[in-house]
Structure 1
């Protein structure tokens, strides 16, 4: 009879452990937001449009010809602002995910993504926002005074860094 009670007790303990293990396995923690192909594709398209804009700027452009560039500025800014909203609509990434993405960026010679809780906890959204702000500032300078060589290069380099950060992070999520 003792043997039967011991066997039954082990059986219940084993069943309990199986139930707990199944419950824990079902509660998987997501370390990173889900990959969203529309964000990645949108960033790729925006990058092409940004590069087209910079390619259209000769060593200097006059504010008198700004109206010809205005639609492209507006298109790029609209794209980037829409992508920022999409990127913000996903779950917040874990610090581990951000650290891994920054390792990839560092190995490519790019600065780290910033996780600024006052603005957003979404690294690619921050980079997209900063790229949009850079293009907005460029549009304003172009409209007011036109753009010249070093100024064009500064805007181009700054925008390229922000877009590279966002594209790298989104590609990292695809893994």
Structure 2
């Protein structure tokens, strides 16, 4: 009798395990080739702009670069909207944890899962280029400042590109 009950529990445990393995919880938005292609295109254009400006700039000739800034910043802003507009799956695990925490009277987990990390990184690239544009227009940019702006933008491009390419899996 004991042996039979043990086998029954083993079967139940095996079925539960198979059920759990078969459940796939999606925690990220769907892959979008257009977002990836646009992100790569913006990355190339930004790195080209940094290369053109690598020896520094003067405020007097800002007008020759103004259109490049406007075009790139506008494309990045539109891309951030597109990347952020994809629906994020609802995370049932976080909801369960938050219900438990609410019952205990403690602070719940942040519910800022509504925006993909890539959209936030793309917005930061736009902010970086906007600051660079404003500095360039006001006083010009030294070669060292170009390196600093490029380094910051590169970090955010890396984050966004890595996240978006990971979604392809």
TM over 0.5: yes
SS at match of 1:154: helix
TM normalised by structure 2 equals 0.71
For residue 39 of structure 1, the aligned residue among 35, 39, 42 is 35
Please tell me the root mean square deviation across aligned C-alpha atoms, in Å: 2.4
Alignment CA distance shift 1:151-1:94 (3 Å): farther
**1: CA distance, partners of 2:72 / 2:136:** 15
The aligned counterpart of 2:83 is 87
The aligned counterpart of 1:51 is 47
Alignment CA distance shift 1:154-1:71 (3 Å): same
**2: CA distance, partners of 1:29 / 1:87:** 21
Aligned residue pairs: how many?
131
Q: Is residue 32–residue 94 contact of structure 1 (8 Å, CA) maintained in 2?
A: no
Deviation track 1:80-117 (CA, whole Å, cap 9, x = no partner) reads 0011001111122678xxxxxxxxxxxxxxxxxxx993
Give the drift of 1:150. Answer: 1.4
**2: CA distance, partners of 1:58 / 1:131:** 18
Q: In the alignment, is residue 139 of structure 1 matched against residue 125 of structure 2?
A: no
Q: In the alignment, is residue 152 of structure 1 matched against residue 153 of structure 2?
A: no
Q: In the alignment, is residue 174 of structure 1 matched against residue 168 of structure 2?
A: yes
Q: Where in structure 1 do 4 or more consecutive aligned residues deviate above 6 Å?
A: none
Q: Is residue 59–residue 149 contact of structure 1 (8 Å, CA) maintained in 2?
A: yes
TM normalised by structure 1 equals 0.68
Q: In the alignment, is residue 165 of structure 1 matched against residue 159 of structure 2?
A: yes
Q: In the alignment, is residue 117 of structure 1 matched against residue 115 of structure 2?
A: no
Give the drift of 1:30. Answer: 2.5
Give the drift of 1:75. Answer: 0.8
Alignment CA distance shift 1:84-1:147 (3 Å): same
Give the drift of 1:132. Answer: 0.3
